[in-house]
Chains A and B, each alone.
Chain A
């Protein structure tokens, strides 16, 4: 077992290193940020000083070594556009994205799971076909389309919901009182973007729930329970539901991470100050350290999650850890 964990950890480190190198190279290929930030007619001395303070006048290998060295110490550098440390800005924005992600996650579960169950229980009926169609529709409509329609209908025409940003509540790391209140305030601002983001995933949730329930309902265990004469409602509620939640929850965990990353377009439309919008601004302005920092943080989280899942599977299923 230990060998398995060690090997997996090694793989994760290699993956991370490859990721770092890839991002470093790609970001530098996008152009020269100094030329883009300095206006026409800027003093060459000012431009040179800017280049030096950003470390871009050093040869590439030294930049790379410095970059990796600082990364190992947890220093992601200073944003070119925002003049503050990348790490600080990222963690300032992260709670906003998490709030949006959680809300979208809850909505996708609330929409997907009941309909999925309904589809599975009434398999191959009208309900099932309707459920499958709804799932497909969810997966087919781009999130920004849904978001735009919501803004027009609920924000502007009806005026029920605000359209800009996240409201005035802020998650301040240094103020513990905000740690709890932040998640439950300004719901009005949260509804539309969370719905637009969660809509896509509710389709996936529906299908996973459906196939999970069908698996369980067809299993021997359920057949036995039915033979014992347990009423159908109890079969469904107590036995089938519990067991079919496992694949749903595994998938949901990954989905949450994906959501946080895919939310760029939603955050841009709704002006939601999250990590996605941070990345979009940084990419638009060739802000190297910010792009590197945000992408690496997301990558780090995904690698860690994969590692945890691998270890978990290894514990649960001996065949996996004993194979090559």
Chain B
């Protein structure tokens, strides 16, 4: 019989915990988490870390004014290139736009806008959709019929079209875009959640709770909602990417966050002409930022889906 020396329990436990932690870390999708982490850090710290203001033009030096306008005094220097090109300075490392504002600072503040809009919009959509889906799945015939018919009607509207329509109803603004995203996307959740709840309510623990006389609201709260969270989380992470693209498209078309706020989609829309002028950096940098955010959100979503759905795990 093997003996375990006394006194090494704690070490063994510690080693085991470390091994587990290492395995968890190994299984985590590092790249998307890193990208998302960087973007989130940028967004949160933007007001502190950004070198210049997001709205006001960069105050230029005498030399810059002289170089560009042959005049010692000017309100701003516009269209400065990134620091590696001729005419660029490290003060504005990614250049300035046509109103003399620093591109890097605007990108950082833009991360805030994109993340806030995408995350809160999808969150609200998820909340509404989950509640309605649970009600539809659990509460019985009439609830189900009504909610599902409304969901179907909602789903036939293409999301971008619906979003533009809603944005014409209210004045453009950041929280209006959040509201729009919530209103457009809740229907995607309610469908999936309803399906889950239909299966869940046949399960033993739910039936047991019902027999014991526990009220419906409590059952929903204690048993149903926690168990649909898996599906909801997967949907959520996949929808965040879509939300970012919809917000960018809305701002691009002029229906989203209004100027002068530095939404990435808006920056791309405003600088289309600069692209033709050869000032590609004004257009490409926001585009890359959008792509990075959506990419990492999608990768994270994929990983979550695989983790939470045992059938897919071995693919």
A residues with a Cβ closer than 8 A to B are 11, 14-16, 18-19, 22-23, 26-27, 29-31, 123, 136-137, 139-142, 144-145, 148-149, 152, 156, 211, 214, 258, 261-262, 264-265, 268, 279-280, 283-284, 286, 291, 295, 298-299, 302-303, 306
Contact = CB atoms under 8 A, between A and B. Distances in A.
A261 B246 CA distance: 13
A16 B161 CA distance: 17
Given A22-B153, A29-B169, A262-B160, 4 more contacts: A15-B149, A31-B168, A136-B299, A264-B161
Contacts of B165: 23, 26-27, 30, 283, 291, 295
Nearest to A257: B158
A265 B160 contact: yes
B183 to A, nearest CB: 10
Contact of B276 (A11, A26, A144, A152): A152
B107 to A, nearest CB: 15
Contacts of A149: 284, 287
A299 B152 contact: no
Given A140-B294, A145-B287, A283-B165, A11 B275 contact: no
B245 interface: yes
B189 interface: no
A261 B169 contact: no
B180 to A, nearest CB: 12
A142 B249 contact: yes
Contacts of A156: 276
Contacts, number: 116
8 contacts: A15-B153, A22-B157, A30-B165, A142-B265, A264-B164, A265-B252, A295-B157, A298-B158
A142 B245 contact: yes
B266 interface: no
Interface residues of B, number: 41
Nearest to B166: A26
A11 B149 contact: yes
B295 A136 contact: yes
Nearest to A291: B165
Given A26-B169, A30-B169, A280 B276 contact: no
Contacts of B295: 136-137, 140
Given A152-B275, A156-B276, A299-B156, A145 B291 contact: yes
A258 B269 CA distance: 23
Contact of A139 (B156, B241, B284): B241
A139 B299 CA distance: 11
A8 B174 CA distance: 40
Name the residue in A15, A137, A258 with the highest tally of chain B Cβ atoms < 10 Å from its Cβ.
Answer: A15
B153 A264 contact: no
B102 interface: no
Interface string B15-44: 000000000000000000000000000000
Interface string B261-304: 00001001000100110001001100100111011001100100
Contacts of B284: 149
